[in-house]
Each structure stands twice: as structure tokens, then as C-alpha cells.
């Protein structure tokens, strides 16, 4: 079942409150995006954001960062309202696809990326899908590239396993920021292993679970 069952445009309204948990998570994500751009090798870093929403995490950072104009790449978002908003805000170097990001087809031509955003995905898919997506990081990311991911820490806290899976995939953790309690977490890691072919070419990384609200 694809993610359009949920009203994700309404979900984004939580960002309008700067004190909301989601707004605090956004700050943590944007900090890691800026640091990743600083770390990126000279040239044109390639961006891939899956389930990108309206792009409010990465697009403002690109607009204000000294490396931002160099960045090329793709945002993939299924909801046409949100992808339309992202497209309107994106510079010409950033393509916005209205597509199912859980299909590896949505990544074709945009990988390996130097900056991979997996934000707002791991709390909405099954554990096996999280594991499969993490295992695909070496195919989605170039060596030396950064993956930024998010996940709540409600029991049973899957972040422990996600961090371990990332390490097994050759990703060295460079940051793990958390909200108090069992709220959000934001992880960032750099792929130290060699980039690899897609483990499931023409297949699926994840399928969003239906949610209310
Ligand atoms: C939790 S929100 C995260 C949005 C954004 N990454 C952020 O962190 O603000 C999940 C997003 O995934 C989108 N989505 C759901 N299923 C999808 C799919 N199969 N392919 C692409 N996007 C999807 C939703 O429309 C929504 O914008």
C-alpha cells in the first residue's frame, strides 16, 4: 500500500510550530546536511532524498550553503501536492520526481549519491524494510558520501539495530542526535566501504504502512 493513504500534507503542518518535536528534528537534520556538504569532495555533490516531502529540510540548506549551488540530484515524493511544492522551491539543478521512492526504479540515474536523505521513512515501514533499505545504502551512496536518517525511539527502540545494520554495511556513524525521551532521532554516517550494485535491481526497498492522520 502506498503512502498516499495518509494525509502527509497535513502532517507537514507540524512544521509550522517552531516548538514542535518535528521542527526540532528538522533543525537536527539541517545541521547534518550542512556538515555533509562541508565534507563533500570538490565538484558537484549528488543528492538523493527519498520520501522528500516538500523538501523543506534540504532545499533551504542548499540555498544558504556555500556548496549549495554545486549540488545536483533528485527528490522523490509520492504526494503530488508536496512534490509540487518541492519542485517550486527547488533550483534547476534539483529534479523532483512524483514517484514511489520505495521502488529502486526511482533511484535509477541518481545513484550513487554523495548525500542520501532517508528522513521520515524508518518509522513508517516494517523492520524488514528498514533492514533492506539500510543494506542498500552502499548501492545508493558513493564511498565517502553521507546518509542522514531519522527514526523515533519508541519501544522497542529500533535505532539500536539500525545503527548496527549501518555499521555492518560499511557506514561509519558521525552523528546520532536524539530528542529527550523516546522521541525523534537523527543519525548521520559516512560510507567507508566501496559502493556496490543495487542488491534488488528492479525491486523494492520499502513499502509505507497505512497510517491515520
Ligand atoms: C514522514 S513524511 C517525511 C517527509 C520529509 N522527508 C520530512 O522528513 O519532513 C513521509 C513522506 O513520505 C511520502 N511518501 C509516502 N509513501 C511514499 C512513497 N512510496 N514514495 C515516495 N514518498 C512517499 C509522504 O507523502 C510524506 O511526504
Mean pLDDT of 71-77: 98
Ligand 1 contact via 149 beta carbon (within 6 Å)? no
| Residues facing 186 on adjacent strands | 150, 177
Provide the pLDDT confidence category of residue 91 given band limits of 50, 70 and 90. Answer: very high
Q: What is the pLDDT of residue 141?
A: 98
| Residue positions counted in the chain | 213
pLDDT at residue 157 is higher than 60: yes
Cβ–ligand 1 contact at 101 (below 6 Å): yes
Residue 28 near ligand 1, beta carbon < 6 Å:
no
Q: What is the DSSP string of 73-93?
A: EEEEES-HHHHHHHHHHS-TT
**Alpha-carbon span 103 to 105, nearest angstrom:** 5
The answer to whether the CB of 195 falls within 8 A of the CB of 113 is: no
Atom of ligand 1 nearest to the CA of 102: 19
Q: What percent of the chain has pLDDT over 90?
A: 91
Q: What is the Å distance from ligand 1's center to 42 Cα?
A: 30
> Ligand 1 mean position to 24 CA, how many Å?
18
Mean pLDDT of 111-116: 98
Q: What is the pTM for the complete model shown?
A: 0.96
Predicted local distance difference test score (pLDDT) of residue 5: 61
Q: Is there an atom of ligand 1 within 6 Å of 129 CB?
A: no
pLDDT of residue 213: 34
Q: State how far the Cα of 175 lies from the Cα of 9, in Å rounded to an integer.
A: 29
Alpha-carbon span 166 to 160, nearest angstrom: 10
Residue 193 has pLDDT above 60, yes or no: yes
Cell digits of residue 169: 554495511
**Does any ligand 1 atom lie closer than 6 A to the CB of residue 3?**
yes
| pLDDT tens digits for range 121-134 | 999 999 999 999 99
The answer to whether residue 1 scores a pLDDT higher than 50 is no
Q: Tens digits of per-residue pLDDT, 3-21?
A: 446 799 999 999 999 999 9
pLDDT, average across residues 182-196: 96
Which residue stretches of 114-195 are H helix?
127-135, 137-140, 159-168
Radius of gyration of the chain measured on its C-alpha atoms: 16
Report the candidate in 142, 133, 139 with the shortest Cα–Cα distance to residue 187.
133
pLDDT average, residue stretch 102-115: 96
Task: Tell me the mean pLDDT in the region 63-91.
Answer: 97
- Rounded Cα gap, residues 29 and 22, in angstroms: 10
Q: To the nearest whole number, what is the mean pLDDT of the chain?
A: 94
Q: How far is the CA of 8 from the centre of ligand 1 (A)?
A: 7
* DSSP single-letter state for residue 204: B
Residue 149 pairs in a beta bridge with 118, 187
Question: Is 70 exceeded by the pLDDT of residue 198?
Answer: yes
The structural domains of the chain, ordered by start, are 8-191 (3.40.50.150)
Amino acid at each position: 500500500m502506498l503512502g498516499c493513504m495518509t494525509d502527509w500534507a497535513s502532517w507537514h503542518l507540524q512544521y509550522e510550530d517552531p516548538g514542535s518535536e518535528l521542527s526540532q528534528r528538522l533543525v537536527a537534520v539541517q545541521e547534518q546536511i550542512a556538515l555533509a556538504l562541508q565534507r563533500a569532495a570538490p565538484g558537484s555533490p549528488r543528492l538523493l532524498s527519498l520520501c522528500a516531502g516538500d523538501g523543506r529540510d534540504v532545499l533551504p540548506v542548499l540555498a544558504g550553503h556555500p556548496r549549495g549551488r554545486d549540488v545536483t540530484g533528485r527528490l522523490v515524493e509520492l504526494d503530488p501536492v508536496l512534490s509540487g511544492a518541492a519542485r517550486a522551491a527547488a533550483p534547476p539543478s534539483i529534479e523532483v520526481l512524483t514517484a514511489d521512492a520505495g521502488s529502486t526504479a526511482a533511484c535509477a540515474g541518481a545513484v550513487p549519491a554523495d548525500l542520501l536523505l532517508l528522513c521520515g521513512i524508518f518509522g513508517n515501514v516494517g523492520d524488514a524494510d528498514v533492514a533492506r533499505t539500510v543494506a542498500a545504502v552502499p548501492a545508493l551512496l558513493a564511498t565517502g558520501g553521507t546518509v542522514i536518517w531519522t527514526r523515533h525511539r519508541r519501544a522497542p527502540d529500533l535505532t539500536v539495530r539500525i545503527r548496527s545494520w549501518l555499521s555492518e554495511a560499511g557506514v561509519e556513524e558521525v552523528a546520532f542526535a536524539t530528542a529527550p525521551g523516546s522521541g525523534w532521532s537523527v543519525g548521520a554516517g559516512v560510507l567507508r566501504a566501496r559502493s556496490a550494485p543495487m542488491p534488488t535491481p528492479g525491486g523494492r526497498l520499502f513499502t509505507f504502512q497505512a497510517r491515520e492522520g
